[in-house]
Amino acid sequence: VNAKIVLLPGDGIGPEVTEEGRKILVEVAEKFGHKFEFESHPIGGNAIDDFGDPLPEATLNACRNADGILLGAVGGPKWDDPTAKTRPEAGLLKIRKELGLFANLRPITTHEFLLDSSPLRREIVEGTDIFFVRELTGGIYFGDSNLEQNADGSETATSTMVYSTHEIERVVRVAAKAAQGRSGHLTSVDKANVLEASRLWRKVAERVVREEFPDLKYDVVLVDAMAMHLISRPSTFDVVVTGNMFGDILTDEGSMLPGSMGLLPSASLGSDGPGLYEPIHGSAPDIAGLGIANPLATILAAAMLLRHSLNLDDEAKAIEAAVDAVLSAGHRTKDLAKDGEVSLGTIEMGQKVIEALNS
């Protein structure tokens, strides 16, 4: 296929890891006979410095015309002044909103060599492979809010969780399709025993699955119970779909399970148009420019881009297998290495993955 891929390197270690993501995509294009065009654009703190805007118009336009977007990371202490007019993170929020990226995909995969770094016991976490789908543009983070002064000088604040049929349908479809391509097990998480917004969520999710995905194994779990199950029996879940705030809490809890965040990618998808792919780790300004950042989460994000935006599942699997092979061979970046273990730099690690892809 021909595809236009926009790179948004961002701040801190963003440029270093994005470059390794680009290289693996170049390699995949060559190996599988595709043609990928790349454009790089500013976002985040450096865009504030250069253009006074964390998401310059030119960046946004390039993203709109792309088939997929690979982002590094944004932010850093330089732009943390609370009195500043804008912040790097505003660029991320705006791009999600402008591109209508309503579904956030967060795979939580475990690797044998990291099992003893998990806070969970090996026998509990072993085999965990969860695919979270979090609704990203609705719910209580985007509902009406209000702060009222009462007559007695006290204040009352409200935040409204709101979901509509259509919003629930589309994110459940994303999750259900993902479940079809995996083990066929979908779990929806809500708080329908108490919340009206969750009762609608549960009703719509059940209808969508019953009418459109009848072959899935489908179950529902309450959010408080899910917070328990995630640590008591994480390996029993496959695809988990939930609302924005519940997903925020549960995916962060889940990100602890593998024993490192350095291997976790994420994707944000809209109805059509390009998806946005990125590592879940931040810009790590303390190690920026040292050449020691771990590029694997970004490389795995590039694999997700191939699968979800370009429909190139074999190519995505080839990258994932290459990463697995490199890790199984014992190669580690500094964040993954145990005391005394030799570690590779960012570029060396990227090169190892390319070699594994071609071997």
Closest-by-Cβ residue to Mg ion is: 224
Nearest to 250 by CA among 217, 218, 228: 228
Rounded CA gap, 43 and 11, in Å? 8
Tell whether residue 231 is a contact of a second copy (CB under 8 A).
yes
Choose the stretch contacting a second copy; rule: CB under 8 A; options: 15-23, 222-230, 290-298, 326-334.
222-230
Sole binder of a second copy in the list 23, 41, 134, 191 (CB under 8 A): 191
Number of residues in contact with a second copy, rule: CB under 8 A?
A: 50
Sole binder of Mg ion in the list 80, 224, 313, 355 (CB under 5 A): 224
Question: Dihedrals φ, ψ of 329, to 5°?
Answer: -75, -5
Sole binder of Mg ion in the list 98, 169, 248, 348 (CB under 5 A): 248
Choose the stretch contacting a second copy; rule: CB under 8 A; options: 71-79, 103-111, 178-186, 218-226.
218-226
Tell whether residue 84 is a contact of a second copy (CB under 8 A).
no
Nearest to 260 by CA among 113, 93, 90, 73: 113
Sole binder of a second copy in the list 2, 61, 65, 158 (CB under 8 A): 158
Output the six-digit token pair for 175. 């999750």
Choose the contact partner of 342 out of a second copy, Mg ion, none; CB within 5 to 8 A by kind: none
Report, in Å, the least distance between residue 206 CB and Mg ion: 22
Distances (CA, A) of 86 to 41, 54, 79, 276, 280: 19, 7, 9, 22, 22
Tell whether residue 347 is a contact of a second copy (CB under 8 A).
no
Q: Which residues sit opposite 277 in a β-bridge?
A: 70, 267
Tell whether residue 140 is a contact of a second copy (CB under 8 A).
yes
Rounded CA gap, 4 and 63, in Å? 9
Q: Rank residues 38 and 142 by Cβ distance to a second copy and give the closer one.
A: 142
Tell whether residue 39 is a contact of Mg ion (CB under 5 A).
no
Q: Is 141 a catalytic residue?
A: yes
Q: Is 191 a catalytic residue?
A: yes
Tell whether residue 200 is a contact of a second copy (CB under 8 A).
yes
Residue 87 backbone class (left: φ over 0; alpha: ψ -120 to 50; beta: rest): beta
- Burial classification of residue 98, based on how many CB atoms lie within 10 Å of its CB (0-12 exposed, 13-18 middle, 19 or more buried): middle
Chain-centre distance for alpha carbon 228? 22
Report, in Å, the least distance between residue 136 CB and a second copy: 13
Tell whether residue 129 is a contact of Mg ion (CB under 5 A).
no
Return the half-sphere exposure (C-beta side, CA atoms, 13 A cut-off) of residue 234. 30
Sole binder of a second copy in the list 33, 83, 85, 146 (CB under 8 A): 146
Sole binder of Mg ion in the list 196, 212, 252, 341 (CB under 5 A): 252
Sole binder of a second copy in the list 26, 227, 325, 337 (CB under 8 A): 227
Nearest to 98 by CA among 55, 44, 133: 55
Q: Is 53 a catalytic residue?
A: no
Q: Is 50 a catalytic residue?
A: no
Tell whether residue 124 is a contact of a second copy (CB under 8 A).
yes
Rounded CA gap, 184 and 1, in Å? 28
Count CB atoms within 10 A of the CB of residue 274. Answer: 24
Contact 305, 63 (CB under 8 A): no
Contact 310, 322 (CB under 8 A): no
Choose the contact partner of 191 out of a second copy, Mg ion, none; CB within 5 to 8 A by kind: a second copy
Contact 216, 186 (CB under 8 A): yes
Rounded CA gap, 70 and 38, in Å? 10
Output the six-digit token pair for 56. 């310059």
- Selecting among 49, 219, 224, 313, the annotated active-site residue is 224
Q: Is 224 a catalytic residue?
A: yes
Catalytic site positions? 141, 191, 224, 248, 252
By the criterion CB under 8 A, which residues form the site for a second copy? 118-121, 124, 140-141, 143, 145-147, 150, 154-166, 191, 194-201, 223-225, 227-228, 230-232, 245, 248-250, 252-253, 255-256
Residues in contact with Mg ion by the rule CB under 5 A:
224, 248, 252
